Structure 1
């Protein structure tokens, strides 16, 4: 018979911890069966000589006996061990003496088959001392656990009342627990983490596999608490590698789960928003470059991004309008992650199999995105596909640079469906140099006549005129004016700037200055 071991919620000592007590060591304990189950929790210590003691147990007890009523009867010995097993006792401790001068083979074999830890004491031992010692330790643990539980509840409730973000709550839970904290959805996708960064990264390596396997045993330190709202489960909170008393850890996890659910109910936060925040944090760290890409790999795996033997395509989307790149990605069945960055752009990282055509799929994504209502002017910028994870940050920065370089000019420029570095030419170079004081001074000097003027429309006309390659028909069409009206505006621009726009070098100088001015304004 296989028994599912029940984990007690109240504080407990493991069998191993009880056997390590000084008073127990004085009795020279020897484990004669069930040595692989010594991490079972001991909820109570019970002294009993009755042969049918199993009916008086509720589970988790360490039973102490001299076996005086079992001596000489193999059947009673076998049934005694089986009854303890059925009652889910934590262990049985047999004091050797008159009844059993040596470990009884029948009881040892039966206990081994049942997986019940059996310990014999080779020296006379006062059971009352062990009972007193264990009970007092359990009561102290229970008091400490309840005190911690109430302290954590008060602290987290205070943070929620003060409007603290959910990350602040998780940081406090990780501090109290002294271990990484992970929040996942029901599919084990990581929504949020807290704790010391290196320890979190260790936990997230191969996260999906270990998340499904961990927590099966009572001593592995993984403690879960379900997250549910209005009767519907939506996630889990996991203490990863908690080293304190398990019951205390369970109380801590419960208090944390209560706080997260309350935070969600009061703030209207959905699990999906947590997933977006986690993805945004990952992509922001990748682009920023402060954290080496290799250290971010566990977070990428935990976010559900395939990373083994993949080709990565970094994209940045500008002006998507009402279109949602993440929705388009799901519709096309493309594996990847999406997040809106702080500057209003949206970063997309595709993860493709080596045999997939990255350019065709990128173009398909861009076309599908622009087909969404109100997204016709969307700009999709891309870097060349990266074969290695370490090259992804540079690719994302390149894609953002390309998107920034054409920002605000997509209507006037004849752009390909997917814009790449080779498509932005001078515009890209100027954007790279926009913070140089000499470039800033040059732009101010060249455009001074228009920048001091009251008519912003002239600057807009100049921008379109130069972006279209000085195409007067196209410029008039884009500004919805007649050709004569456009000529008057161009004459006014030339007069204020003191240049001849028909002269290539002068027009090029003004164009570079305008590109630098626009880049500086962001």
Structure 2
């Protein structure tokens, strides 16, 4: 159970700081705050999971460039935090207009704390209140779980369990199979109240290593969404028990699940071939493995699985709490082109899901699926921090980093970096600049200046100024020379080595 941002700002501890809403005023009343956190770190976004009210003293923002502040706001908004509150009057004398404009454009509520803000007191007061509310939520959810479990033990079916849910929550409650077909629904006693109510909430119902169905709760307007989130999560497990007989798996489904377990554990030989055939796929076909891992707290895997099944004709999927893995068969001809098209379509289909997906290299035959899976996992581990939600990575794009990871002696790689871009690395370390990042983005864009400026949120003039300085350090403009490939390799290796 959270508090609205309006309620938080009205608390006595916040009123001491004289808060002013500088951006996103229209969403203050309906924005829910899940937790309060304070940090001066500009790269904090990947460590947040959404719903936080972030408190900042302004020191880092005061010394940051407008471009850096823009990236900061975009990253926070992308993580779905509730709001950013910044103290002014100290190092940061006034709220920067560029920060206000970026927050307004991103739809992120921006609060100016115009007096000295007691961050510890503010966080303790509000977080303690929310912890108490969470304990009460869990108590209510326990009672609901006990009621559903008792009904199931007494022989209640899916319809009866949904009717209990509809009455206790209250809500319109529906269960759909994984194709989206309605299986059962229970209405509120006063059904019209549910129509046009609050936004519906969806939950996975997992069975035998896969998402077998989805639970949808449609609360009446004005009810606390935190209660429905907690109740839905708890109820999905009990509903899975009621669905076991109704959604009995086919032999193909069972074989597919066993195939993925075998691939993940490195099983080879005739057993793997038999499972592949039983799952409806040719063991000699070309295969790629896919891995999806949560970027934040993931409550649903169904949309990710549906996106994969939509874009691959022959695929087996296995869902776990920590990740989703899949093995897909590709056409026998133009296999690499088919894989590239799969990556593109997946990127178009993910729709901002809070996951990162990696597609491994093509393997010839099911015996190579384990290697493809391992390389897909490695690709995610080597990917840059702060990727956007729903990012789809191609292991082929990380060939350099994957090779460097497997090289036991990185001395040769480090020497190459020193030879080609060492002056840039030293300059960045001394000045706190981002010339290497700029060079990497420019090379990755195919030396397209306009695209690089958009990627880095830079004005054209600022980018040209950076590139002129970079060219002075690497011996001139590398376009049209033999040095271009070596520079790209060195920049990629430098980024990887910097993460070690």
Please classify the TM superposition score into its range, dividing by the shorter chain length.
0.3 to 0.5
